[in-house]
Structure 1
Amino acid sequence: MLELLAPAGSMEAVAAAVQNGADAVYLGYGDFNARRNAKNFSREEFAAAVSYCHVRGAKVYLTLNTLLTDRELPQAAEFAAEASSLGADAVLVQDLGVLRMVRQVAPDLPVHASTQMTIHNLDGVKMAADLGMTRAVLSRELSRDQIEYICQRSPIEIEVFAHGALCMCYSGQCFLSSVIGGRSGNRGLCAQPCRLKYGWEGKADSYPLSLKDLSLAGYLRQLRKMGVTCVKLEGRMKRPEYVAVVTGIFSRAIHEDREPTAEEINQLQAAFSRQGFTQGYYLDQQGPHMFGVREETKEPKELFALARSTYQSGEAQRVPVTFYAMLRPGEPAQVGVKDPEGRVSTAEGAVPEPARTRPLTTEAVENQLARTGGTPYRAERMRVLVEDGLSMPLSALNALRREALDGLTRQREALPSRHMGSYHVGARYENRKEPPVLTLSVRSAQQITDQLLELGPALVYVPLEELAAHPEKAKAPAGTAIGAILPRIAWDREFPQMLDNLRKVRDLGVTDVLVGNLGMVAAAKELGFTLRGDFGLEVYNAQAVKEYKKLGFSSLTLSFELKFPQIRDLSKALDVELITYGRLPLMIMENCIIKNRTGSCNCQNTNTLTDRKGARFPVVNAPGCRNELLNSQTLFLADKAADYQRLGLWAQRLMFTVEDPQTCVQVTRRYLDQEKWSPKEYTRGLYYRDVE
């Protein structure tokens, strides 16, 4: 049966989820999770939540799914160790540095790959398994045929989102909130700028980045047959009544092996929606119909009042138990209870007396034992032996039942015996003293000219498709290497073409590839390429650097959400490079907003999205007919060379996107201090700003 995983932003929401049939809840403990604005649990609250859930047969998953700095990792290690000792059933992570830390301090605690890891193909799932994870939460953009393909071949459990808010960008790859507002979605503080107005031709008059909420109510049996282990409900920022309504509807449908009724769908919509729901990604039917905004509606008071009653009035009696009782002359009365996991609790009472009038019957004893109201337990089976002619007060039987159940509860909430370790920062690597070499990345083969190559960059990264289509660009003067940029997103159905292109460029003599997703590592490795990590890997701390070194990487691009002092202090077990020029990528989107607007593919022309303040964001095509949203301002640091040359970098990268070939040359010369050019408008990015 599908596991149903519900959100819990408070202790009340835990009760709402569990009393309405959730098999597991996910919640934040401490400050290091993807919903830092939710009410995260204190130590006492977390312990109470785990106890409450375990007694009622539900699991608790801890969310530690944000990027952490080296300074934050020791405190996160304390949270992880405490959560493990308090009985958490698993932890969700995004950051490979956090994964490394968890393995040190809580080696027995299962780890799940958060959707923030952008796992969207089979190789990504296998990589998560190789890293010791037991479950992967897939990207929400995947279609059902791709989910099924992965499920049928996956070595670990697969979890998919089944209801709740949809991000416009692939989770873990969005920088819109941090770059324009200083609040990082990768650090748990997304300000949701995608829900604001944007538009085309200078007018911000629509909502082209605001998707309707996802709902796969109607496809639950299909998901189960495909091999999905767990369906996840989104909503840790939502109120407990919402959690109760949605969890209850999904739970009943799953347990009754049906889909939600029309009335239940109406209730889901009343609880929260953005002009209805969408299944566009799942059905592989994208388009304008997937978009919507939150409209002011009346609170569904009756629905929410009914929802409150489900968790404020009594118990749902979720745990089926078997009762045992034996009443024999001359022996103390015995009552036992056994739970589905085989735990047994017994109670012993007084010796039954000979009956003076009506003797006790088996049926009477069973009736008393079955009175489990007000507890989480439901009497499912009885094994009762009552010999003839005996009498015992019913109150004494009730007391034995309560004693046995109390003993079972203590067993069910007992903390697991787990190994504990300590967090080790490890060896410190000295920073490089020499200035960084210059690398370039381009979007099109046309941007690579003889003039550009004559400037002697150490490496020029070219998109794989472009390089395969323009083999002449694989040649470069001595001292300059050409590398291929792998797609950040490539579904399994796109893999054959990607592998074909990789073989082509390898045969052209290309030896380096820039990898921005874990799902592309194995293919590049098997073909013998030198692995260089791109910004999509989200390298934020020294522990992550060490993990990527173990995976065989030769260099890494550090996150552009880090500040210069953090980069300087980061211990670099590998060569690192930093993006020092370019329009930073803010979103990579499965839904083509250009086609949504015009009805046809129009990627080759310049498309510009405008926000409410008049800022203009270029929208360009990404491999696989996807969109990439670029920043409205260009990152420019040529006049700050003294700052970034002291950070211990191996390379600084100029990222060319919408520039014409001549501008590429001009910018490169400026960074080589051969001329004084600077853009009219520019930004310093986040390197000098605090990112929350």
Structure 2
Amino acid sequence: MLELLAPAGSMESVTAAVQNGAGAVYFGYGNFNARRNAKNFSEEEAAAAVSYCHLRGCKVHLTLNTLLTDRELEGAAQVAAHASAIGVDAVIVQDLGVMRMLRQTVPDLPIHGSTQMTVHSLDGVKLCADLGVSRVVLSRELSRDQIAYICQHSPIEIEVFGHGALCMCYSGQCFFSSVIGGRSGNRGLCAQPCRLKYGWGNKADSYPLSLKDMSLAGHLKELQDMGVACLKLEGRMKRPEYVAIVTGIYSRALREGREPTAEELQQLEQAFSRQGFTQGYYLGRKGPDMFGTRQEEKEPRELYAQARATYENGENRKEPVRIYALIEKGQPAQIAVQDKEGRVVHAEGPTPEEARNVPLTREKVEGQLSRTGGTPYGCEKVMAKVEDGLSLPLSALNSLRRQALEELSQQRVIPPQRRQEPFHPGVRYENQKQPPVLTLSVRDADQISAELLALKPALIYLPADQGAARPEVVERCQKAGVPVAALLPRICSDGETHSLEADLTALRDLGVEEALAGTLGVARRAMQLGFRVRGDYGLGVYNSQTIKDLKRLGFTGATASFELKLAQIRDLSKSIPLEFIAYGRLPLMITENCIIHNHTGQHTCSNVNQLVDRKGERFPVVKAWGCRNEILNPKKLFLADKSADYARLGLWGARLMFTTESAPECVRVLERYQGRGSYQPNDHTRGLYYRDVE
């Protein structure tokens, strides 16, 4: 059956989820998970939660799904060692460096790839398999056809979100909260700026970035038939009553092989919704109907009271057991209890006596032993062999049953024996002494002028589709002695891979040998086509272990996360050449939903549209590959006057990222970074390089 994975932000929520039929729960403890604002758990609470769950046949997944610095990895290794020792069943991870650390320190602990890894194609899934991941959580933007295709061909288990909040941006690619407010979603402290008001004119008067919660109620059998291994419910920040209601509805439907009823759907909406639910991505129906906001409504007290009763009033969840008894003359009474995993325990009691009045019968023994009320067990089958003419007090049978079930409980919570090794960061690479070369990326081939090429940048990243469509631009760069690399789309679904492959083949025929990839799927595809691939900022390079793992995977270079401070970039051990973003409008979001089309009903993506917030800031919204949108920062990152600061970081390259600039402006920017001219943007930012990101 499809595993149902429920959220738990507290011990009360663990109880609520387990008693309402969750197949597994997920929670975090320590500061290394994507809901750092949730209550989370102490080590003692986590151990108690694992025992509570395992006793009742429920698995536990630990969230370790944030980007970590080198200094934090040692602490994360200790959390992982403790998690492995107490029997956590899997750990959910975003950071490639954390995966590397886990493979070294707790090699027997299964790793699940978080949705924060932005895995949205079979190529991405296969690369996760190469990383030792046993299950991957797909991006929430995928349609049922895309999910079905991946499940059909995946070498590892697939998990999908089935109910709960939807982010406007692809998970793992959102920098809105960190760039605007210094609170990083990739570090577990998203401030949810997407839930605020924005507008298209001069007034922020609507909610174009606030999606309704998703609900795949009504598609459970379909998901199971596809081969989805696990259905995930979102909501670690939600109250225990919510967890009880949502888990209970989905688990009953799955157990009974049906879809939720109309009454249950109404209860889901009462528990939490943003003007109803959406199945837009799953059904391939993107558009304005997918959006909604939380409305202030009266708390559904009666529903919550019913929900509390499911987990506050004793054991509602019963693990099936089989009980066998043997009562014969001259021998101690014996029983055996077997659970569904095949564990068997034995208990021995007093020797029966000759019956003076009413002898013990098989029916009486079986009836007495099957009384498991008040325990987490339900007697599925009981078989007794009772010799005639014997007597045994019922209290002795009760004691035998109790003794056997207690022994079984002890066995069920014994953690598995797993290896544990110390964490060794490994060899440290010395920083290069020379200052970084200047590279640049463009959104449009028209930004590449003869004047720009005359300034001899070290490398130009040109969007793959632009390069394939404009071979003369590629040839002009090559004649000027400026190498070109293919800038790969940040999002590329399986249905779009053929188009990307055609573009890359055309570029390869033109002599282009390098590519820049921001997600694992496109990186794998480009490598298969023979390109040398550099990693972009979308891969979340936050620590030295990630760089080492990218090298192991065949990457020839990487880009430091722009959520790092300059000092942290300096301290990275650079086992492959590293560059950083030194100029440009930082990308805040990449969205599957075209908000421009939602607003105008037309595809006017070729223009630069601007989203305005409550403070009057204007966010450029530009077309991304595949009819998607990118929302850019209003202020341009500008560091030309800080070259002394980044020249000493040991970087191979400093990238100028051109988005909305005209061709002449691109020239002026490059000149300024080369130490000439006086260009400075009207409104600029130093990004996050000089301030702490939470």
* Superposed pair shares fold, TM > 0.5: yes
The residue aligned with 2:590 is 588
User: What is the one-letter code of the residue matched to 2:230?
Assistant: C
3-state SS of 2:98 partner:
helix
Q: CA deviation at 1:478?
A: 4.9
The residue aligned with 1:257 is 257
Moved more, 170-179 or 350-359: 350-359
Describe how 1:671-686 pairs up with structure 2 within 5 A.
Answer: 671-686=673-688
**Residues in 1 aligned to 2:327 and 2:600: alpha-carbon distance in whole angstroms:** 80
**Residues in 2 aligned to 1:15 and 1:404: alpha-carbon distance in whole angstroms:** 24
Q: CA deviation at 1:600?
A: 1.2
Q: CA deviation at 1:674?
A: 1.3
CA contact (8 A) 1:136 1:158 kept: yes
**Structure 1, gaps ≥5 residues long:** none
User: What is the one-letter code of the residue matched to 1:103?
Assistant: R
Q: CA deviation at 1:100?
A: 0.4
The residue aligned with 1:503 is 505
**Residues in 1 aligned to 2:547 and 2:424: alpha-carbon distance in whole angstroms:** 14
Does residue 1:489 correspond to 2:491, yes or no?
yes
The residue aligned with 2:231 is 231
The residue aligned with 1:630 is 632
The residue aligned with 1:164 is 164
The residue aligned with 2:352 is 352
User: What is the one-letter code of the residue matched to 1:607?
Assistant: N
The normalised TM-score by structure 1 is 0.99
The residue aligned with 2:395 is 395
3-state SS of 1:670 partner:
helix
**Residues in 2 aligned to 1:599 and 1:395: alpha-carbon distance in whole angstroms:** 76
**Residues in 2 aligned to 1:115 and 1:53: alpha-carbon distance in whole angstroms:** 24
Does residue 1:319 correspond to 2:319, yes or no?
yes
CA contact (8 A) 2:66 2:95 kept: yes
Q: CA deviation at 1:216?
A: 0.2
**Residues in 2 aligned to 1:232 and 1:480: alpha-carbon distance in whole angstroms:** 48
The residue aligned with 2:53 is 53
Q: 2:547 aligns with which of 545, 548, 562?
A: 545
User: What is the one-letter code of the residue matched to 2:342?
Assistant: G
CA contact (8 A) 1:317 1:375 kept: no
**Residues in 2 aligned to 1:37 and 1:392: alpha-carbon distance in whole angstroms:** 57
Per-residue CA deviation, residues 176-216 of structure 1 (Å, 9 max, x unaligned), is 00000000000000000000000101210000000000000
Per-residue CA deviation, residues 282-313 of structure 1 (Å, 9 max, x unaligned), is 00001100000000011110111111011110
The residue aligned with 2:108 is 108
The residue aligned with 2:131 is 131
Does residue 1:600 correspond to 2:602, yes or no?
yes
Q: CA deviation at 1:136?
A: 0.5
Does residue 1:565 correspond to 2:567, yes or no?
yes
The residue aligned with 2:580 is 578
**Structure 2, gaps ≥5 residues long:** none
CA contact (8 A) 1:142 1:282 kept: yes
Per-residue CA deviation, residues 651-674 of structure 1 (Å, 9 max, x unaligned), is 000000000111001111111111
Q: CA deviation at 1:318?
A: 2.5
Per-residue CA deviation, residues 103-158 of structure 1 (Å, 9 max, x unaligned), is 11100000000000000000100111111110010000000000000000000000
User: What is the one-letter code of the residue matched to 2:132?
Assistant: G
**Residues in 1 aligned to 2:298 and 2:466: alpha-carbon distance in whole angstroms:** 52
Does residue 1:67 correspond to 2:54, yes or no?
no
Describe how 1:273-352 pairs up with structure 2 within 5 A.
Answer: 273-352=273-352
The residue aligned with 2:85 is 85
**Residues in 1 aligned to 2:383 and 2:575: alpha-carbon distance in whole angstroms:** 64
The residue aligned with 1:13 is 13
The residue aligned with 2:668 is 666
Q: CA deviation at 1:526?
A: 1.5
**Residues in 1 aligned to 2:356 and 2:152: alpha-carbon distance in whole angstroms:** 66
The residue aligned with 1:452 is 452
The residue aligned with 1:645 is 647
Does residue 1:94 correspond to 2:87, yes or no?
no
Once superposed, what is the RMSD of the aligned Cα atoms? 0.7
Q: CA deviation at 1:690?
A: 0.4
Q: CA deviation at 1:461?
A: 0.4
Q: 1:480 aligns with which of 479, 482, 486?
A: 482
**Residues in 2 aligned to 1:192 and 1:30: alpha-carbon distance in whole angstroms:** 22
User: What is the one-letter code of the residue matched to 2:521?
Assistant: G
Q: CA deviation at 1:677?
A: 1.2
3-state SS of 1:258 partner:
coil
**Residues in 1 aligned to 2:265 and 2:237: alpha-carbon distance in whole angstroms:** 21
Describe how 1:178-257 pairs up with structure 2 within 5 A.
Answer: 178-257=178-257
**Residues in 1 aligned to 2:426 and 2:608: alpha-carbon distance in whole angstroms:** 48
Per-residue CA deviation, residues 604-627 of structure 1 (Å, 9 max, x unaligned), is 112000000000000001001000
User: What is the one-letter code of the residue matched to 1:355?
Assistant: A
The normalised TM-score by structure 2 is 0.99
Q: CA deviation at 1:317?
A: 3.6
**Residues in 1 aligned to 2:193 and 2:667: alpha-carbon distance in whole angstroms:** 34
The residue aligned with 2:119 is 119
3-state SS of 1:285 partner:
coil
CA contact (8 A) 1:516 1:537 kept: yes
Q: CA deviation at 1:344?
A: 0.9
The residue aligned with 1:691 is 693
CA contact (8 A) 1:488 1:515 kept: yes
CA contact (8 A) 1:355 1:391 kept: yes
CA contact (8 A) 1:57 1:318 kept: no
Q: Percent identity?
A: 67
The residue aligned with 1:146 is 146
CA contact (8 A) 1:514 1:532 kept: yes
Does residue 1:613 correspond to 2:615, yes or no?
yes
**Residues in 2 aligned to 1:415 and 1:526: alpha-carbon distance in whole angstroms:** 41
**Residues in 1 aligned to 2:495 and 2:247: alpha-carbon distance in whole angstroms:** 33
